[in-house]
Amino acid sequence: MFSMTPSVKISTPSLRKLPKDIVIKCPRCKEILLERDCRENHKICPECQYYFHLGAYERLEILVDTNSFVEIDKGLTSEDPLAFGNQSQVYREKLTQERHKTGIKDAVVTGYATIERMPLALGVMDFNFIGGSMGTVVGEKLTRAIELAIARRLPLLIVSASGGARMQEGLYSLMQMAKTSAALAKLSELGLPYFSLLTNPTTGGVTASFAMLGDVILAEPGGLICFAGPRVIEQFMHEKLPDGAVTAEFLLQHGMLDFIVQRQDLRCTLARLLRFYDRAGSLPATKEKGGSPSLEHEVYA
């Protein structure tokens, strides 16, 4: 947050005229923040600890070793598989706008990298691209990332940030739930670890498929994690949900998550998880090593 002298006041209309890359407004506490300061704080509001959305490349910047990420399948793009009447043109225009706005082709970036020099395959979803919705390209790219982990015998990390299946692609988008889950089953058969990181929000078909299949499931604080949102549930059940019923904290309390991790601690936590599976012999390159500490001790050490 920046401070102003008592003699200087900036009205809301004046703030609106400022470029978005200079100041941002926290949607929770309504504080006006310097974008630079917020970015240096991992895009967490210093006043109320609200977690702003991270783009896929921003997420990679704080998770993996510098210059270690190698992207795969960068050119895959959706060709509007339904071509549904006049809505087809609307969807195509939306895709073009989103690609221009975000700088990515679709709602996930995949590849391989290292965390503290330990290699892994990964997929990072970007909520800024049509709400991180999962269509054919997202499903295909994630499946290829899983297949890369299988081929190279690497651990896998998927960072979810999604509103669910992409309705503009109909049944094709729903098929990605089974497709990614089947690929993860093959990964599991080989004993390769899969870490699933849930961020705000993780909902719909993503929650109902690969997001909840991790060997270790982590989440950022306060994230909305559910299949249907609270308003949909309340309208269907005609009952008001308890406060926080679809948050990461609620899921942790009821055994559906393993850990809630502060954003600034994610990289070191993932490194500890990789070392744990390394020493436990789950990573093929190090099966000769002994020692099998408890997972909880390793993460919180």
| Residue ranges of the binding site for Zn(2+) | 26, 29, 45, 48
Q: Which residues are annotated as a binding site?
A: 26, 29, 45, 48
Q: Is the peptide bond before 201 cis (omega within 30 degrees of 0)?
A: yes
Q: DSSP class of residue 277? A: H
Return d(Cα 72, Cα 277) in angstroms, integer.
25
Where do we find the tokens 């990605």? Answer: 176
Contact of 211 with 234, CB cutoff 8 Å: no
The 3-state secondary structure of 21-80 reads: CCEEECCCCCCEEEHHHHHHCCCECCCCCCECCCCHHHHHHHHCCCCCCEEECCCCCCCC
Compute CA distances 164 → 6, 16, 167, whole Å: 46, 32, 9
Compute CA distances 235 → 207, 211, 240, 248, whole Å: 20, 25, 9, 22
Q: Residue 83 corresponds to which tokens in the numbers above? A: 């071509």
Three-state secondary structure call for residue 111: strand
Q: In 28-44, which positions are buried (b, 16+ CB within 10 angstroms) versus exposed (e)?
A: eeebebebeebbeebbb
Where do we find the tokens 């100041």? Answer: 23
97: phi then psi, degrees, rounded to nearest 5:
-60, -45
Q: What is the dihedral of CA 244, 245, 246, 247, to 10 degrees?
A: 40
Contact of 4 with 26, CB cutoff 8 Å: no
